[in-house]
Chain A
Amino acid sequence: MFEGILVGLAAAFSITNLLMVIGGCLIGTFIGMLPGLGPMSIIAIMIPIAISIGDPSAALILLAGVYYGAIFGGSTSSILINAPGVASTVASSFDGYPLARQGKAGKALTVAAVSSFAGGTIGAILLMIFAPVLASVALLFHSAEYFALMVVGLSAIAAFAGSGQIGKAVLMTLTGLMMSTVGEGALFNMPRFTMGVLDLQSGFGFITLAMAMFALPEALYLVLDPSRSSREKETTEIKDLRITKEEMKHISPVIGRQSLQGFLIGVLPGAGATIASFLGYAVERNIASKKDQAQFGKGSIKGLAAPETANNAACTGSFVPLLTLGIPGSGTTAILLGALIALNVSPGPRLMTTEPELFWAVIISMYIGNVVLLILNLPLIPYIAKVLAVPRNFLIPFILFFTMMGAYIGQNNATELLILVGMGACATVLRFANYPLAPLLIGFILGSMLEDNFARSMQLARGFGFILERPMTLGLLILAIVLILLPGIRARLQRR
């Protein structure tokens, strides 16, 4: 393991990878600040560039940097103009925006940056501890367990969608799985569900799908509802960025607690940074003294530190199932998984032994990314914040253009653009009807792996016998069923 860490250190500190982290964090912060553009959209747009780099370590480091930067950028727009760029920074606006209105925008941004840094760093340390342990356990898994584990992952994503959403999330996951069966897969070497369309022989492009599910609906929402755009809102002036020792002492316990809690929530498939930030805020408000509690919602630095720490720790936590099991727990990590597959890297328990440089370089670059956010992005925030003044009439055409470029470059095919428009329009309507879109993309990306492991298990056992022959497989599949049914049963019991 230590040898791997050293190899990773050498790779992460190479000039190219350092530039990737710095560039990724800056781009992420810059674009993440734009209202309506979340990390999923930004990463989807950046994928063709990352793939063209060719080196998987550099590509993943760039994308991870973009991810952190986008979360940080989202916090900035939450604090300055009360327009969260991403859902996971909504809770940051509860106290961040009131602080900015009191003329303490600089202080609020520093609290956010310090909390994010601490949450991300503690998360990275926990990742270093947990990932190898989980990877060594996962090495004992065979195809049947992998199949069952993926089913658990997909069920958990649906189960965490929230009350009243589980059926829709399951439906979206199944739609993603269905779409993954279109085209000529490697498994059977025959076209399926192509309806005779030549362009569908290679299946749907995952970048096109990612753009259609996230970037395009976000842009269309900005068109449909101009109030989502920041233009009309006045950008708060950023003055003093310093925080005092007492304030630091005041938020330290919050940071410690929320780093751990956020990380653990991030590890769970489907939970992610949004749930972590809201839960972090709620927990800290509940356990705060009466005096502190009264400040929550009116500009409490504890109320700002809690969601900021939790969402960054959760981002890091979400890398645990991705790197060790090859199972994405969120839409963002699903996109990262797609990028890795495009770069011929198969994430899973063997990644640590087969690609130690990539595995450890990514983890170590998370520390570097957090340092970059703190010492480089924070002082630059007053300048980066100028992007909030870009007029909507210029911003939206460019978002649409970059969305199309991402899909076009990914497949080098103009038909992809038509698929993008069609699916993007469908995705927008689905969001109108409150259907969650991340499960669709996760189902799509996991679909071929799920079918592959299912087919291998069936072939080895000559039928469905593998379910009963392997206790862990059976146990995991029962867990998947429980995860789906439990929220509904609990809701019914509560009503009685």
Chain B
Amino acid sequence: MKLDRAIALLFFLLFVVYGYTAFFVMDGSLAPFMQRNPVWPSTFPKGIAILGVLASLYVLLGFEKSEEEKPAEIDLSRLGQYKFGQAISLLGLMVAYAVLLRPAGFLLSTTLFLIISAWVLGERRFILLLFVSAVAGGAVWYLVQGVLGIFLRPLPFFLG
């Protein structure tokens, strides 16, 4: 099965679950006075679910296959040359950044994120990296907290 049709199958399942919730779960908790309204909180989702199931079936069953296809942005025949390891590592680093941002503080987590992600990409000039990361982290912290007025804890929680 081609990737686009496999994804269409996932969308089909998603719309089925969404439709099941809209048709059979949501209305149960509806207050009696709201039931007299011509439009319920589930009305719009029900319509989307039906159309979503139909659209995903259209792609899943390959009705578009016979038409002229737009060339894919990514060449699947070159898949082996793509750097998946680096991309997944960077996504992992982003998750770590999200988890550490509050406890470790903005400056430390940002500096570490920038240094480690550049290292993952093959950068080895650590002194330059440390300098650039620290300056960037400090400047962005000042902009966000000082100029935009959004609180960002700069230091780890144990330092206040």
A residues contacting B by CB (< 8 A) are: 48-49, 52, 162-168, 170-171, 174-175, 177-178, 181, 187-188, 190, 192-193, 220-221, 223-226, 391-394, 396-398, 400-401, 404-405, 408-409, 412, 414-415, 417-418, 420-421, 424-425, 428-435, 450-451, 454-455, 458-459, 461-463, 488, 491, 495
Contacts and interface: CB of A to CB of B under 8 A. Distances in A.
A417 B97 contact: yes
A164 B64 contact: yes
Interface string B46-66: 001101100110110001101
Given A166-B64, A397-B117, A417-B97, A432 B3 contact: yes
B63 A421 contact: no
B74 interface: yes
A-B pairs with lowest CB-CB distance, top 5: A417-B98, A393-B123, A397-B117, A433-B4, A458-B39
A454 B122 CA distance: 53
Among B91, B123, B147, max chain A CB count under 10 A is at B91
B108 interface: no
Contacts of B15: 174, 178
B48 A177 contact: yes
13 contacts: A52-B148, A171-B11, A174-B51, A181-B48, A192-B41, A221-B73, A225-B81, A393-B122, A397-B117, A400-B117, A409-B148, A433-B6, A454-B44
Nearest to B56: A171
A297 to B, nearest CB: 19
B87 A220 contact: yes
Interface of B: 2-4, 6-8, 11, 14-15, 18, 21, 26, 29, 34, 37-39, 41, 43-45, 48-49, 51-52, 55-56, 58-59, 63-64, 66-70, 72-74, 76, 78, 81-84, 86-87, 90-91, 94-95, 97-99, 101-102, 110, 113-114, 117-118, 121-123, 132, 136, 140, 144, 147-151
A396 B121 CA distance: 9
Nearest to A454: B44
A418 B95 contact: yes
Contacts of A429: 3, 7
Nearest to B76: A432
A181 to B, nearest CB: 5
A421 B91 contact: yes
A409 B150 contact: yes
Given A164-B68, A165-B64, A462-B38, 13 more contacts: A48-B148, A52-B148, A163-B70, A171-B8, A171-B55, A224-B84, A397-B118, A401-B113, A401-B140, A418-B95, A421-B94, A433-B4, A455-B43
